[in-house]
């Protein structure tokens, strides 16, 4: 066998900055610069509920995710308080993910504002990976107006910790030979899967940083936290993580967004884009044998305002024609109602149903 070193993997992790609040700033430029607080109202009336997230101006005043809304109002009486608008954040998320997907050998969306991207084979080394990340960040900023923080490392564990290392608008690259030095001073709870409880127990055992985990043997860790967690903690503390970047789409919806060749309100051009996007969405549906109950057309105008038109079908469908025709109809209605120039358009299907559920439905 030729004497070849195994190629290191190169993984990128992206995490959008103060995501819900940044989306709202993009929708309403007039609130930019003010503290912005996104609230989940409990539905019990008044200010009952909790803060979902806040922008950095509000965080400086102590307003953070999870605190009660009434406390946020005391801390930041002049802040802009807005309810969660998930539809908007999903659309913007689709835009970001679509850009990212184009750069990856493999892609895994982790949440509405996070994703892993396998760059192994796409770039030869970590320096090139850094240059690519700069380019991706610029493209996201230019096309969506949003900033994000990116981490690059030899595996998912390190990439994810690295994306959180410098925020907002950060970029942190950890080469394989730098992994142990990078991890050593970090808090044990920076390891994914090590929550507050395990963190507290480790502190009691005299372990505050990831580096200090080396004081405990694998056996000791297993005795404390069980086989699975003990092993995970030991491996993570040494920067080891073999998990793969795996395509996993949200089960609730599949959407695609694209930039039009020119800013336009001409239906011909918009229909062409819709047809391509519909095919893409349909391929994804087929691969996963899913049906859908609703179709949406997403329109992003030149001022980056996002609007959606949706239709719920009388019964589930799975064919390309239904996606294409419904999206075209929605686009036609949209342009009639809002004759604005569009910059990007998207197609999305939602209320997805798997084969099993379809069979059950069919039995009735
Ligand atoms: P970051 O990443 O520190 O700049 O700020 P975010 O706001 O992007 O925080 P992240 O990445 O933890 O969460 C992404 C979004 O998820 C965030 O914009 C709002 C939502 N979210 C986060 N934490 C909570 C929470 O405790 N409750 C609720 N309802 N939503 C949350
Ligand atoms: Ca985030
Ligand atoms: Ca996140």
Domains of the chain: 1-174 (3.30.70.270), 184-237 (1.10.150.20), 253-363 (3.30.1490.100)
How would residue 321 be classed by pLDDT, with cut points 50, 70 and 90? very high
Alpha-carbon distance of 225 to 233, in angstroms, equals 9
Per-residue confidence (pLDDT) for residue 101, from 0 to 100 = 86
The CA distances from residue 89 to 18, 25, 173, 220, in Å, are 12, 12, 28, 44
Helices (H), the chain: 19-27, 56-60, 69-75, 86-101, 126-144, 156-163, 179-183, 196-204, 218-237, 267-287, 320-337, 355-362
CA max distance for the chain:
71
User: Residue 258: which H helix or E strand, with range?
Assistant: strand 253-264
Nearest residue to 205 via CA among 230, 239, 235: 230
User: Residue 167: which H helix or E strand, with range?
Assistant: none
Mean pLDDT on 86-114: 90
Per-residue confidence (pLDDT) for residue 265, from 0 to 100 = 95
How would residue 351 be classed by pLDDT, with cut points 50, 70 and 90? confident
Percent of residues, the chain, with pLDDT higher than 90:
82
- HSE-up of residue 126 (Cα within 13 Å, Cβ side): 19
Q: What CA dihedral angle connects 79, 84, 86 and 92, to 10 degrees?
A: 0
Residues with CB under 6 A from ligand 1: 15-20, 40, 52-53, 65-66, 113, 167-168
Alpha-carbon distance of 177 to 182, in angstroms, equals 10
Ligand 2 centroid–CA 120 distance in Å is 24
The CA distances from residue 272 to 26, 109, 281, 317, in Å, are 27, 27, 14, 22
Identify the weakest region by mean pLDDT among 206-215, 232-241, 354-363: 354-363
Per-residue confidence (pLDDT) for residue 44, from 0 to 100 = 82
Helices (H), 145-195: 156-163, 179-183
Ligand 3 centroid–CA 18 distance in Å is 8
Per-residue confidence (pLDDT) for residue 276, from 0 to 100 = 97
Mean pLDDT on 244-273: 88
Per-residue confidence (pLDDT) for residue 249, from 0 to 100 = 57
356 has pLDDT over 70: no
Judged by its nearest atom, the ligand closest to the C-alpha of residue 51 is: 1
Neighbours of ion ligand 3 (CB under 5 A): 15, 113-114
How would residue 363 be classed by pLDDT, with cut points 50, 70 and 90? very low
- Tell me if 221 sits within 8 A of 234, measured CB to CB: yes
Per-residue confidence (pLDDT) for residue 357, from 0 to 100 = 63
Ligand 2 centroid–CA 290 distance in Å is 29
Two tokens, residue 215: 């004081």
Atom of ligand 1 nearest to the CA of 89: 18
| Residue 243 φ then ψ, to 5° | -65, 145
pLDDT digits (tens, 9 = 90+) for 6-60: 678 999 999 999 999 999 999 999 999 999 999 999 888 888 999 999 999 999 9
Mean pLDDT on 55-75: 97
How would residue 3 be classed by pLDDT, with cut points 50, 70 and 90? low
Per-residue confidence (pLDDT) for residue 120, from 0 to 100 = 95
- pTM value? 0.82
Per-residue confidence (pLDDT) for residue 62, from 0 to 100 = 98
Pairing of strands 253-264, 36-41: unpaired
- Best probe residue, ligand 1, of 36, 40, 53, 151 (max atoms within 8 Å of C-beta): 53
Nearest residue to 351 via CA among 247, 249, 251, 278: 251
Q: Mean of the per-residue pLDDT values for the chain?
A: 92
Alpha-carbon distance of 137 to 186, in angstroms, equals 25
Judged by its nearest atom, the ligand closest to the C-alpha of residue 42 is: 1
Ligand 1 centroid–CA 38 distance in Å is 10
Alpha-carbon distance of 290 to 286, in angstroms, equals 6
168 has pLDDT over 70: yes
Atom of ligand 1 nearest to the CA of 65: 26
- Residues acting as catalytic residues: 114
The CA distances from residue 221 to 11, 204, 232, 237, in Å, are 28, 13, 9, 12
Which residues lie across from 321 on neighbouring strands?
none
364 has pLDDT over 90: no
The whole-angstrom distance between residue 94's C-alpha and the CA centroid of its chain comes to 9
């Amino acid at each position: 066998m030729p004497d070849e070193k195994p190629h290191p993997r190169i993984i990128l992790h992206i995490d959008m900055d103060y995501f819900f609040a940044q989306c709202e700033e993009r929708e309403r430029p007039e609130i930019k610069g003010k503290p912005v607080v996104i609230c989940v109202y409990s539905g019990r009336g008044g200010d009952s509920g909790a803060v979902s997230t806040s922008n950095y101006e509000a965080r400086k005043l102590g307003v953070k995710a999870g605190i009660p809304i009434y406390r946020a109002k005391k801390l930041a009486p002049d802040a802009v308080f807005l309810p969660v608008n998930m539809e908007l954040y999903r659309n913007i998320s689709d835009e970001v993910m679509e850009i990212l997907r184009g750069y990856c050998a493999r892609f895994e969306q982790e949440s509405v504002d996070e994703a892993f991207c396998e760059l192994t084979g796409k770039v030869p080394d970590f320096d090139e990976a850094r240059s690519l990340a700069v380019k991706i960040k610029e493209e996201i900023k230019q096309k969506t107006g949003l900033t994000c923080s990116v981490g690059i490392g030899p595996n998912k564990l390190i990439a994810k910790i690295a994306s959180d290392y410098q925020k907002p608008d950060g970029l942190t690259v950890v080469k394989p030979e730098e992994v142990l030095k990078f991890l050593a001073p970090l808090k044990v709870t920076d390891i994914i899967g090590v929550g507050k409880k395990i963190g507290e127990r480790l502190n009691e055992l005299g372990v505050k940083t990831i580096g200090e985990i080396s004081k405990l043997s694998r056996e000791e860790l297993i005795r404390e936290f069980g086989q699975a967690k003990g092993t995970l903690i030991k491996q993570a503390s040494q920067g080891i993580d073999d998990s793969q970047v795996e395509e996993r789409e949200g089960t609730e919806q599949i959407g695609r967004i694209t930039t039009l060749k020119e800013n336009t309100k001409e239906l011909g051009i918009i229909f062409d884009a819709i047809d391509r996007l519909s095919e893409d969405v349909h391929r994804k549906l087929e691969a996963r044998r899913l049906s859908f109950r609703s179709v949406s057309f997403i329109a992003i105008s030149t001022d980056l305002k996002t609007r959606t038109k949706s239709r719920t079908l009388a019964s589930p469908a799975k064919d390309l024609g239904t996606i294409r025709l419904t999206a075209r109809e929605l686009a036609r209605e949209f342009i009639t109602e809002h004759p604005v120039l569009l910059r990007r358009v998207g197609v999305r299907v939602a209320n997805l149903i798997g084969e099993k559920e379809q069979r059950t439905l069919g039995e009735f």
